[in-house]
């Protein structure tokens, strides 16, 4: 078994290897974990490392942090790849850890890359040795540990969530890479497009930069401009800039196609954005927003379907997860539409924001103590389930003196049509009770 993940970097190693941080201070990003006083930095500097799961998208530093662990504590370090290893490799690693403990008294850190690819029995093989303290387990995964790591192992490890790198953080890495190419310069627009293509992934950034620099060297160019970028690596560039005008134009087109009940157009814009490199989970969040804003209570299933689409993508990735998002988009395009709950929310938010602080009426207050009961808290409250139709006709649930305004006005479409009928019936009961409006 070799520690191939942790061998010295050769002079002509890939750019990502040459720029891999050697110390915590060289790490770019993950400030929420590595900043002063943050949990991972404290664990590293104290030398007391818990078993942990590093969860995050590709290219955010999971393996880099594992490398830094190897140099930060006095422990044997054994790396495994779940893609290439099996139970035999795990058994050999445990035997090696036991021998190390017997001979030198040193504990062992075992790093498992892509731990989600191990099945349950393979993951279970670590448990007794993690429990006994023989191994400190560190797993790296791009998948949600709640789904992909068995509960027994998960309960014995802390989960640290790594975030995609921001464009500012990617910019630092771009500048470091450029510094390794003396005499080579780039346009600001080239830098902007390369960072957009990387989309939070440092490995993707380095691979793309390396191809770009190699192309410039082959063409004997000292300056990379936008024309050279497009002519050399056009097939890899996004069809829109993340955060740019075209990106938001396409999001707008997708949203308006759903609102306009056109499933073909909605699917077209979704696939345009996925094909252009948009983050599927960003699109998933926008799809949930569409379900809330434009469908609402006319068809509450749309919101559930949108949320499930996001969860399925998180669990399955591409392409199955993208199909789940497509299902959600097409369903919402043909669903009944209503923005009544969205409008009611905005109206009530504006009203509460400018209104005075109104006390809760006595009959609606909680009365858990004798004193509160003596002060008439909860007195004369009518329990709806004891009333005809489980409705206390004429009862008031708003503060005294509050203007009688209807904020929610359901449409006649979809389920909201039934809701409108129900509210109309209840208002008739209020009138009969002499307290309708």
CATH of the domain at 380: 1.10.3710
Domain count, the chain: 4
Single pTM value for the model = 0.54
CA dist 95 and 129 (Å) reads 11
The residues near 11 (Cβ < 8 Å, ≥ 6 apart) are: none
Is residue 5 predicted with pLDDT exceeding 70?
no
Q: What is the pLDDT of residue 237?
A: 53
Average pLDDT taken over every residue of the chain:
84
Q: Using alpha carbons only, how large is the chain's radius of gyration in Å?
A: 29
Range list of H helices, 57-126: 62-72, 87-104, 120-124
Q: Are residues 140 and 25 in the same domain?
A: yes
Name, in order, each residue with C-beta under 8 angstroms of 341's C-beta and a sequence gap of 6 or more. 292, 296, 297, 408
End-to-end CA distance of the chain: 80
Q: Find, among 113, 37, 44, 34, the residue nearest to 80 by Cα.
A: 113
Same-domain pairing of 175 and 155: no
Domain boundary among 161, 179, 207: 161
Output the pLDDT for position 235: 53
Pairwise CA distance, residues 237 & 226, whole Å? 11
Q: Residues 5, 79: contact at Cβ < 8 Å? A: yes
Residues 146 and 20 in one domain: yes
- Whole-angstrom Cα distance, residue 380 to residue 436? 19
Q: How confident is the model at residue 6 (pLDDT cuts 50, 70, 90)?
A: very low
Mean pLDDT of 310-331: 91
Please determine, for residue 143, whether its predicted confidence score (pLDDT) is greater than 60. yes
Nearest to 408 by CA among 400, 420, 397: 420
Same-domain check for residues 44 and 124: yes
Which range (10-24, 269-283, 335-349) has the least confidence?
A: 10-24
| CATH code of 229's domain | 1.10.8
pLDDT tens column, 357-401: 899 999 999 988 888 888 899 999 999 999 999 999 999 999 988
**Looking at per-residue confidence, does 71 or 25 come out higher?**
25
Band (52; pLDDT cuts 50, 70, 90): confident
pLDDT, average across residues 431-435: 82
Given the structure tokens 């953080």, which residue do they identify? Answer: 169
What is the DSSP code (8-state) at residue 10?
A: P
153 and 31 in a common domain = yes
- Percentage of the chain lying above the pLDDT 70 cut: 93
- Owning domain of residue 295: 245-334
Q: Are 320 and 314 in contact (CB under 8 A)?
A: no
- Distance between CA atoms of 230 and 334, rounded to whole angstroms? 39
Q: How far apart are CA 59 and CA 205, in angstroms?
A: 9
Give the pLDDT band (50/70/90) at residue 233. low
Q: Is residue 154 domain-shared with residue 29, that is, in the same domain?
A: yes
DSSP H or E stretch at residue 404: none
Q: How many CB atoms are located within 10 Å of the residue 318 CB? A: 10
């Amino acid at each position: 078994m070799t520690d191939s993940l942790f061998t010295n970097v050769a002079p002509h190693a890939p750019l990502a290897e040459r720029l891999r941080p050697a110390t915590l201070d060289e790490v770019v990003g993950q400030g929420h974990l590595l900043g002063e006083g943050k949990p991972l930095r404290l664990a590293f500097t104290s030398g007391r490392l818990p078993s942990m799961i590093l969860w995050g998208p590709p290219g955010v530093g999971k393996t880099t942090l594992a490398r830094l662990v190897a140099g930060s504590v006095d422990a044997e370090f054994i790396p495994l790849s779940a893609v290439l290893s099996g139970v035999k490799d795990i058994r050999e690693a445990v035997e090696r850890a036991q021998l190390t403990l017997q001979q030198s008294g040193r504990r062992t850190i075992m790093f498992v890359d892509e731990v989600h690819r191990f099945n349950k029995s393979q993951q279970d093989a670590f448990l007794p040795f993690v429990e006994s303290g023989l191994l400190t387990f560190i797993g790296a995964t791009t998948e949600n540990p709640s789904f992909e790591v068995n509960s027994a192992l998960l309960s014995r490890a802390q989960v640290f969530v790594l975030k995609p790198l921001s464009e500012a953080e990617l910019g630092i890495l771009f500048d470091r890479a450029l510094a390794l190419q003396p005499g080579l310069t780039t346009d600001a627009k080239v830098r902007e497009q390369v960072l957009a293509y990387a989309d939070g992934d440092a490995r993707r950034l380095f691979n793309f930069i390396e191809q770009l620099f190699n192309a410039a060297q082959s063409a004997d160019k000292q300056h990379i401009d936008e024309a050279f970028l497009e002519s050399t690596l056009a097939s890899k560039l996004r069809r829109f800039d993340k955060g740019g005008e075209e990106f938001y134009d396409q999001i707008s087109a997708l949203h308006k196609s759903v609102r306009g009940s056109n499933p073909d157009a909605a699917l077209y814009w979704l696939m345009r954005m996925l094909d252009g490199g948009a983050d599927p989970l960003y699109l998933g969040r926008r799809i949930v927003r569409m379900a809330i804003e434009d469908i609402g209570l006319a068809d509450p299933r749309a919101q559930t379907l949108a949320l499930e689409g996001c969860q399925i993508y998180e669990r399955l990735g591409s392409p199955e997860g993208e199909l789940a998002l497509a299902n959600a988009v097409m369903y919402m395009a043909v669903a009944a539409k209503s923005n009544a709950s969205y409008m009611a929310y905005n109206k009530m938010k504006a009203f509460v924001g400018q209104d005075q602080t109104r006390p809760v009426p006595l009959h609606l207050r909680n009365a858990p103590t004798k004193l509160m009961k003596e002060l008439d808290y909860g007195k004369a409250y009518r329990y709806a389930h004891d009333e005809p139709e489980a409705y206390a006709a004429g009862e008031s649930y708003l503060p005294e003196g509050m203007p009688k305004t209807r904020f929610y006005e359901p449409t006649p479409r979809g389920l909201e049509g039934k809701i409108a009928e129900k509210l109309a019936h209840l208002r008739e009961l209020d009138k009969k009770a002499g307290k309708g409006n």
